[in-house]
Chain A
Amino acid sequence: MGKRQRLAALVTALLLLPVLFASARGTQEPPGEIVINIASGAVGTEYERLLEQAERYMADHPDIKIEALSTPDLATDRLGLYLQFFEAMSPDLDVYMIDVIWPGDLAEHFVDLYEYGAEAQAKEHFPAILQNNTVDGKLVGMPWFTDAGLLYYRTDLLDKYAYGGPPATWADLEAMAAKIQAGERAANPDFWGFVWQGNAYEGLTCDALEWIFSNGGGTIVSPDRKITINNRFAIEAVDTAARWVGAISPPGVTGFGEEDARNMWQAGNAAFMRNWPYAYRLGNADDSAIKDKFDVTPLPAGRSGHGAATLGGWQLGVSTYSTHPKEAAEFALWLTSAPEQKYKAVKDSNNPTFMSLYDDPEIEAASPFMVKLYDVFINAVARPSTATAPKYNETSVLFFTAVHNVLTGKLDGRTAMEELELDLQDLLGYPVGQP
């Protein structure tokens, strides 16, 4: 071999050397230490809380290291991140925080927690949530906390404008919000009556389902697989909400997520807010402008005579691609155990999923509404994720896009729901029915 060829061979070898290193497995695990990676949210104080809990777990289990990955706020973005891990069948994440609507669509990527000792704990959770998380007998996710939409209202403003109590119907809400807004605008030009989540994402599906179900318009697709969305009560509910935009809600409410609404509410610039329970604790923090000036109540009723609250909540699942499923399952079961759920309930007003915890005096002292609104939580209306599995996501995108078009004025309610019905028929192949 000539000198030139030797040089060429050496250069080639040097250039390919990094490839060898790249193929070695990521971080070197010191022998005996197991690293469990958990994907967590960062809404409110979620992430900090998880790190605290992880510290305590690691203190008790010296051979395990927990690393938490913070994921995007919007559920749609978070799903996008998870799907990339699943497509790559990546062992990089062991425990996932999954939304209540994902077990149906994502069941194939999670282990059956019943095989890892979930049986004992399982029966103490709310049966409806457990059933939601069980796909073909396989427990895809252990319930971590449950959520239901609530109406937050300013007690001081209701007193100031001589209202006896929070509104019982949507019409009442509209009237009260308009009056309070008109009165407060003189002193505060940034004040609006009612803030909620109107952006084109899963959160809008939650809000819109509440308007529609409380008006007797059904749940988009009924549990017995009929498309029920195109009825006059649903159309009326969505048209009503479209009226609020620009009148009692800011025109930009069609771009609001949970945190945008909460920021406006917590700064004292709204009379009413629809949001999840997590905002309760944050609203009473020392740096909040509305500390001790608000309370929560079930959402108003429509034609059906009762209010509706969309069932939310998050579960913890263990990935089938994890290299330490047993340890990951143990950590997931520890996080979802009663003492840890109580900790989160007291610190972050996250609703526990253990029925027994609703009698706990400490939880009652920290967040009295949790015990007071127990009925709301156990009667929450679920999104049709089971009826439309495995195409719930597409269904939801079609639904929230249609509702968003009505809210922004691009379409009227009748055309939007009609087209939505046709779209859902194409997508799901289900028959049309009455709610």
Chain B
Amino acid sequence: MTRSTELVKHEARLAYLLLLPSFIILIVIAFYPLASVFVNSFTDKEFASARAVNFVGLENYGRLLGLTVKPLPPLTDPASGQIQRDPASGEPLYERPVKVLPREPRRYKELRQFNLLGSRYVLGASDRNFIRGMADTLAFTLLSVLLETFLGLIIALVLHSRFKGRGLMRAMMLVPWAVPTAVSSRMWAWMFASTRIGFVNVLFQNLGLGDGQIAFITEEAWQLWVMVAIDVWKTTPFMALLLLAGLQLIPEQMYEAANVDGAGKIRQFWNLTLPLLRPTLAIALVFRTLDALRVFDVFQIVLAQKRYSVASFIYYQLIDNQAAGYSSAASVIIFFLIFLFAVLYIRVIGGVQNEE
């Protein structure tokens, strides 16, 4: 008995010794910068500057996340006391938000106006770019992950079947994933050029969908779709690869049995393939969602300062405003958001596994 516990302790010591280099590297590369970002988020540190650093507590967080709702009173004609109305539409005219939103201790800027129970309100944010960036990043994540999963599944199903040249197709499929994002974003930005220099404009014009002068990258309605398109092009192969691996785990005999039982192809897909693919699908979704929430390269290269994602907002705060403390606070916020998503997903995967 004593000899085996000694052996266990001996092996444990050896294990710790062998793990020591990895721990040291992890602490230096991962934990130290992370801790430093946390600490900086409570200060007003400036990037690339020798100015004194002051502790400011939760001021940075307050400024980033500050939201307020204020009612907008309708404009009344001073003489008659009647509500002023827009002569064209008959809608009542309201006070301008810049006069209603609070300015102390922080200035709130108009984010959105909305009607509720007959009255008009304005939603104000103390950092409009950050809130918009969050909304855009979440919308981008939702759209791109949905599309990538859907298209990836289709491609995986096709590549799972037997046909001549399957090996070659599987290799070619990975090309968009292999091209560095910096290169492919630039290429897509040129393809989406606003005049007929751009491939997409010429394509749309030939299909009768436009006049060849659609400014994809500067028009608000198009910008997010352009981002989604570039990301879907790049990442669908990755999803397809993961899902293909999952498909190959499903034994052939199950399909043969289903055929014998007389189940049609669609029935087989719905009741056989999908349920057995769920663990793989969950893992693929986790990867992609967390990646999409962190999106930086596409936004910085194509949209620059026209529209921010959370990560590119952080970058520009750091570089343009040299605001290291403020951008650290934004980083911490997105860190917790991603952490939350990760925990939620793990719960879901855990739930799936428990069912098996």
| A residues whose Cβ falls under 8 Å from a Cβ of B | 4-5, 8-9, 11-12, 15-16, 74, 76, 79-80, 83-84, 86-87, 108-109, 189-190, 192, 199-201, 250-255, 263-264, 393-394, 397, 400-401, 404, 408, 410, 415, 418-419, 422-423, 426
Contact = CB atoms under 8 A, between A and B. Distances in A.
Contacts of B215: 250-252, 254-255
Given A12-B18, A189-B212, 11 more contacts: A4-B10, A4-B14, A76-B304, A76-B305, A84-B48, A251-B218, A255-B306, A394-B321, A408-B218, A408-B219, A418-B98
A87 B103 CA distance: 34
- B10, B107, B194, B315: residue with the most chain A Cβ atoms closer than 10 Å: B194
Interface of B: 10, 14, 17-18, 20-21, 47-50, 96, 98, 103, 107, 109, 193-197, 212-215, 217-220, 304-306, 315-316, 318-322
Nearest to B324: A87
Contact of B217 (A16, A255, A397, A419): A255
B220 A401 contact: no
The 7 closest A-B pairs by CB, nearest first: A252-B194, A80-B319, A86-B48, A252-B215, A251-B215, A87-B48, A254-B218
Contacts of A79: 319-320
A429 B189 CA distance: 39
Given A76-B320, A419-B98, A419-B109, A251 B219 contact: yes
A341 to B, nearest CB: 30
Nearest to A83: B48
A201 B305 contact: yes
B98 A397 contact: no
B195 A201 contact: no
B98 A422 contact: yes
B322 A83 contact: yes
Contacts, number: 105
A261 to B, nearest CB: 12
A426 B107 contact: yes
Contact of A393 (B20, B193, B320): B320
Nearest to A418: B98
Contacts of A200: 304-306
B7 to A, nearest CB: 11
B213 A251 contact: yes
B14 A410 contact: no
Nearest to B305: A200
A109 B48 CA distance: 9
Contact of B304 (A5, A199, A415): A199
A12 B21 contact: yes
Contacts of A192: 195
A252 B322 contact: no
A400 B320 CA distance: 13
- B17, B213, B322: residue with the most chain A Cβ atoms closer than 10 Å: B322
Nearest to A19: B25
A200 B308 CA distance: 12
A252 B218 contact: yes
A254 B17 CA distance: 59
Contacts of A252: 193-195, 213, 215, 217-218
